[in-house]
């Protein structure tokens, strides 16, 4: 299949101006001012006059096999479905387990990754779950990461949370070191995805690991960094050293506690956090629980969707007055670079043909995943 996107305002994610983009098979083969179509060649031409062409979004924290369960069997969340991805312009996901590493398993996450890939989307995963020692496919997280192409790191390991295993500094450091080495052997990022809970001084476990080992801050991707005011204040300083992941789907369910993601992006940038250190992820198909602070009992539970990322990118532009190309990077090139997802996150020659056409209001017109239109 050959497709030509004509007269598109290309955001690669940097603003490139009006361009033609040619796709053959699964790959972007040309990005030029004008691309002529040779006579006799069958090409589907998509007129994008007045529209934006952007990379497919990378949602790097999704409970693809469902999450939840903190309130019993009736609070288990469903699996991710491809239409959920398409509705949010998401063409790539990174799957993980969460609270429930007991009745859900890493093998199922791997098979869901394979299923998404078999149906035209792009997917990777973390091995492990909240618990320490973490569950794995082979019985060893190092072997999972080194041997399975789909496994890029460890996560989401819970810290600073009443649902965590309260890992000691030595345990967390050992897991991070194993993940790093296995990533080197397997040609992966070898990142540890860290669930940040509601405890005060939430980054303390990571600070302790860095202070007491040879590991650096960029070995970790702490997520949910906008979950309350005090973790966000700490994130403004932490983000100058390491990565900061903002969860989009919990807004507007917890407006009295959380920092709105679009606002969080502006504030992080204003406080000197490098743009390349910031990512947006949805945490979709995982539970968004609320607990009574005195009894610890579940009092509220919601489920988020991948579409929350694009919503917050729009709000970053329309409400926070950030340039579109700046807001777009947190869900395209940034996660692709941090997690070493080759071919993802850019509209460039040689990259995968994961493309989204947006109208002037940033609404989705068409989605292409690996060279094929979907939805």
Q: Which of 161, 283, 352, 354 is catalytic?
A: 283
| CA–CA separation, 30 and 205 (whole Å) | 46
Helix (H, G, I), strand (E, B) or coil at 182: helix
163, exposed or middle or buried, with CB in 10 Å at 0-12, 13-18, 19+?
A: middle
Residues with Cβ < 8 Å from 318, sequence gap 6 or more? none
Per DSSP bridges, beta strands 122-127 and 90-95 are parallel
| CA–CA separation, 253 and 257 (whole Å) | 9
Residues with Cβ < 8 Å from 210, sequence gap 6 or more? 216, 217
| CA–CA separation, 100 and 163 (whole Å) | 10
Are the C-beta atoms of 337 and 344 separated by less than 8 Å? no
| Count of positions (residues) in the chain | 375
CA distances from 150 to 126, 199, 336, 353 (A): 8, 32, 14, 19
372, exposed or middle or buried, with CB in 10 Å at 0-12, 13-18, 19+?
A: middle
Are the C-beta atoms of 359 and 353 separated by less than 8 Å? no
CB atoms within 10 A of CB 323: 13
Chain center to CA of 229: 22
Q: How many helices (H) and strands (E) does the chain have?
A: 10, 18
Chain center to CA of 125: 11
337 is catalytic: no
Chain center to CA of 68: 18
Residue 125 has φ and ψ, to the nearest 5°, of -160, 165
Six token digits for residue 28:
């972007």
Catalytic residues: 283
């Amino acid at each position: 299949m050959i497709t030509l996107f004509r007269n598109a305002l290309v955001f690669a994610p940097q603003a490139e101006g009006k361009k033609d983009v040619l796709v053959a098979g699964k790959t972007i083969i040309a990005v030029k001012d004008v691309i002529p179509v040779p006579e006799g060649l069958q090409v589907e031409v998509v007129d994008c006059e007045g529209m934006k062409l952007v990379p497919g979004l990378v949602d790097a924290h999704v409970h693809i096999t469902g999450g939840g369960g903190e309130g019993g069997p009736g609070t288990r969340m469903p699996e991710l479905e491809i239409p959920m991805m398409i509705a949010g312009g998401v063409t790539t996901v990174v799957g993980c387990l969460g609270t429930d590493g007991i009745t859900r398993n890493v093998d199922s996450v791997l098979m869901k990754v394979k299923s998404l890939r078999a149906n035209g989307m792009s997917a990777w995963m973390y091995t492990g779950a909240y618990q320490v020692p973490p569950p794995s496919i082979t019985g060893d997280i190092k072997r999972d990461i080194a041997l399975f192409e789909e496994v890029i790191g460890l996560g989401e390991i819970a810290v600073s949370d009443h649902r965590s295993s309260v890992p000691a500094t030595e345990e967390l450091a050992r897991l991070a070191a194993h993940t790093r080495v296995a990533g080197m052997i397997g040609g992966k990022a070898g990142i540890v995805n860290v669930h940040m809970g509601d405890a005060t001084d939430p980054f303390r476990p990571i600070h302790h690991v860095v202070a007491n080992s040879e590991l650096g801050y960029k070995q970790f991707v702490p997520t949910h960094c906008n979950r309350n005011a005090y973790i966000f204040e700490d994130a403004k300083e932490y983000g100058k050293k390491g990565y900061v992941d903002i969860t989009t789907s919990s807004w507007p369910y917890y407006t009295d506690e959380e920092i709105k993601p679009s606002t969080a992006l502006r504030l992080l940038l204003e406080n000197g956090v490098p743009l390349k250190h910031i990512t947006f992820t949805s945490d979709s198909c995982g539970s968004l629980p609320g607990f009574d602070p005195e009894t610890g009992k579940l009092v509220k539970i919601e489920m988020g969707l991948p579409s929350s990322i694009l919503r917050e990118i729009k709000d970053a532009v329309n409400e926070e007055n950030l340039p579109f190309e700046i807001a777009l990077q947190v869900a395209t090139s940034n996660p692709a670079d941090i997690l070493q997802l080759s071919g993802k996150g850019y509209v460039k020659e040689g990259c995968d043909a994961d493309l989204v056409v947006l109208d002037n209001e940033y609404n989705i017109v068409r989605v292409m995943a690996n060279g094929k239109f979907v939805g």
